[in-house]
Chains A and B, each alone.
Chain A
Amino acid sequence: MNPWDIAIANPVLNVLVALSHTLGGSFGFAIIVLTVIVRLITWPLNKRQLRSTKAMQEMQPKIQELQKKYGKNQQKLQQEMMKLYKEAGVNPLGCLWPMLVQFPIWIALYQSIIRALATTPENLLDLAQRLYSWDIVNQAIPLSSQFLGLDLAGQGNIILAIVVGGTMWVQQKMTQAPAVDPRQASTSRIMLLMMPLMFGFLCLSFPAGLGLYWAVSNIIGIVTQYFVTGGWGYLKFQSPFQRAPSQGK
């Protein structure tokens, strides 16, 4: 067995199975509880990211001023913006860390869902090699993939895909400041749509259990963001397809 399995994949798998047994055999609730646990573990990073977001929001008037002033000189604009970030103690790339930290957990969770729900005989047989000899784990096997009418091992659940995409859009929209430069605004709008669309599509292509993790994780993200940054931020309840008025002209 490789170090990845020993250190990350198998512990996640066994925790999920044990949680499932503790929660009355519900693998769906186990995924939700694991999501909360992951969120708690990554909370210090998330908190820093949220504070950074809040600081960025407060800096927006100054940033827009700089954009107006140095709009034609991109190099100077970047320099001035970095200076501004530095003065405010903000790292614009800081928001990437919580996401990067979650990547291995996503991969481990994806593998765990496939392995734990054992949709094929080979999966079930391979599971034997990965489970710890804890009573709580072995009594839970095999797991049921049904949760609130959702097949956690199944793919192509359109409602879950919409929930994942929608919650991701809301979460991003709350933090994405409107750009002054029209080109930048266009890029921002693309990015705002790209990620939710991509995750929505991934949700259709991967087991619903992983989609459940993303949906719950996004909802927790929205709630914590609301309380830490003190409101809905830049979220305005308008259609993403509605053309925003051009700014900075």
Chain B
Amino acid sequence: MKQLKALVLALIACLPLMVASCIGVGQAAGGWSGPTVQDGIIYVASRDGGVVAVNSSNGDVLWFYAMVTTSGGGLSCGPTSAPTAIYATPIADGDLVYVATYNGQVLALSTLARRQNLTFPQQRYGEWEWNCPLDGAKSNAIVADLLVSADTIYLSSSNGRVYSLDKEFGDLNWESEILDEVHRKLWTSPVIQGDTLYVSTFDGDIYALSAETGELLDWSFQSEAGFASSPVVYGNTLFLGSFDLYLHAIEIGSSASMWRFPEEEPAGSWFWASPIVNEGIVYAACLDGRLYAIEAETGEELWEFDSESPIVASPVLMDNLLTVIDESGTVHVFDISTEFGNEAEPLKAISIGASVRSSFYAQDGLVYARGEDNWLYVVDIDRGAVSWTFDLNEEEE
């Protein structure tokens, strides 16, 4: 009897721990999806798993769609519903908005159906949903941005495979082999050139796949360190950041790096964001807070700028204005048309007053960014100030 009493007492003692293990289930989802703009409408995913369409001229909400996932809960918890995290930036294409979620779903949301607040999916409006299989992996999360071509959507999954979906119906065209054997995490986006997809992995490989069939092509590249960023293709060269603290330029078909940057001492941190390339110059942002302009052909540094805060999102080019937002929320604007070496001095530095990790959108002198505080910020570069803001938290309430 005493032993039974002891057991009961021990279990009672463990009860708070069991309850504690349930805390956290059902809390805010997170994610760093950025905004996108099409035909005067801003589409942005909130940190609580909602997709919001906002009129860019007056800030009116046109529609809101919340994505919720149901899980089995923890060891001692029952089934719970929780918002779905969204890392990939929505892609607007015609009347459809494509959204990929951390629980492995890809959704085609019709702007027409969502405005009427109809149940999802409305097939007559072209809506569909695709669920990524777990495939023996721990997760099927979609973290990287979708790659949308004329009739196909390509995506990387945390189960280690790349998938091709029919854009119109969401049917699976093909799935690749497991490309990331060790980590089973493909958190980088594929990039396409012609009929070939290039995919970088945490294992340190770059694979070339047939965009038509998903079969591995002859060429692949292997590095000692894993790749931190998605590749960018320019001409016949791939540019991407590695966990070894260098940015690499890899000629397609070659087995060795064309160059790595910095030439000697490594950078202060990872080149997490994909670089952009314009007129033979690579603009690469680093988590050490620096923005580098590098000669694409030689890897020679042209200039650098220290923002003093990690830069998580890729730079964006808007005409001759290069824009970066650092994690502290300062928008730095550079005029890259300047010929005589003062590109490294930003024209403007505009603080939005919130941390930014998400990718951002720049168009017509306006920068659209989602802060980690779950607000949407629209920055007017000419005025050098935040033009208007939108509280995404309010939409979920």
Chain A contacts to B: CB under 8 angstroms:
25, 120-122, 124-125, 128-129, 133, 135, 138-139, 141-142, 144, 146, 151, 154-156, 186, 189-190, 193-194, 197-198, 201-202, 204-205, 240-241, 243
Contacts and interface: CB of A to CB of B under 8 A. Distances in A.
B10 A194 contact: yes
Interface of B: 2-3, 5-7, 9-11, 13-14, 17-18, 20-21, 30, 32, 74-75, 87, 138, 143, 182-183, 185, 187, 202, 224-226, 243-245, 266, 268-270, 272, 287, 310, 312, 357
Given A139-B244, A142-B202, A205-B17, A121 B32 contact: yes
Nearest to A151: B138
B6 A193 contact: yes
7 interchain residue pairs of minimum CB distance: A190-B6, A205-B21, A141-B243, A194-B10, A197-B10, A128-B287, A142-B202
A144 B183 contact: yes
Contacts of A138: 225, 243-245, 266
A204 B20 CA distance: 12
16 contacts: A120-B30, A121-B87, A128-B272, A129-B287, A138-B225, A139-B225, A189-B2, A190-B6, A190-B9, A197-B13, A197-B14, A198-B10, A198-B13, A205-B18, A241-B3, A243-B2
A146 B184 CA distance: 11
Main secondary structure of the interface of A (DSSP, over half): helix
A120 B143 CA distance: 9
Nearest to B223: A139
A243 B244 contact: no
Contacts of A186: 2, 5-6
Contacts of B185: 142
A56 to B, nearest CB: 22
A193 to B, nearest CB: 5
Contacts of A241: 3, 7
Given A141-B243, A189-B6, 9 more contacts: A128-B310, A138-B245, A154-B138, A186-B2, A190-B10, A193-B7, A197-B14, A198-B10, A201-B17
Contacts of B225: 138-139, 141
A71 to B, nearest CB: 18
B391 to A, nearest CB: 22
Contacts of B269: 128-129, 133
Nearest to A129: B310
Nearest to B143: A121
A146 B207 CA distance: 23
Contacts of A193: 6-7, 10
B75 A205 contact: yes
A124 B183 CA distance: 13
Contacts of B310: 128-129
A107 to B, nearest CB: 15
Nearest to B243: A141
B268 A133 contact: yes
Contacts of B143: 121
Contacts of A142: 183, 185, 202, 226, 243
Contact of B30 (A122, A129, A139): A122
A204 B312 CA distance: 34
Contact of B187 (A121, A129, A202): A121
Contact of A194 (B13, B138, B244, B268): B13
A155 B76 CA distance: 12
A125 B226 contact: no
Contacts of B266: 133, 135, 138
A152 to B, nearest CB: 11
Contacts of B138: 151, 154
Contacts of A204: 75
A141 B270 CA distance: 11
Counting chain B CB atoms within 10 Å of each CB, the highest count among A129, A194, A198 belongs to A194
Contact of B18 (A141, A144, A156, A201): A201
A126 to B, nearest CB: 10
Contacts of B287: 125, 128-129
A122 B287 CA distance: 13
A17 B17 CA distance: 29
A155 B245 contact: no
B98 to A, nearest CB: 19
A57 B8 CA distance: 29
A198 B224 contact: no
B314 to A, nearest CB: 14
Contacts of B187: 121, 124
A151 B244 CA distance: 25
Contacts of B5: 186, 190
Contacts of B11: 197
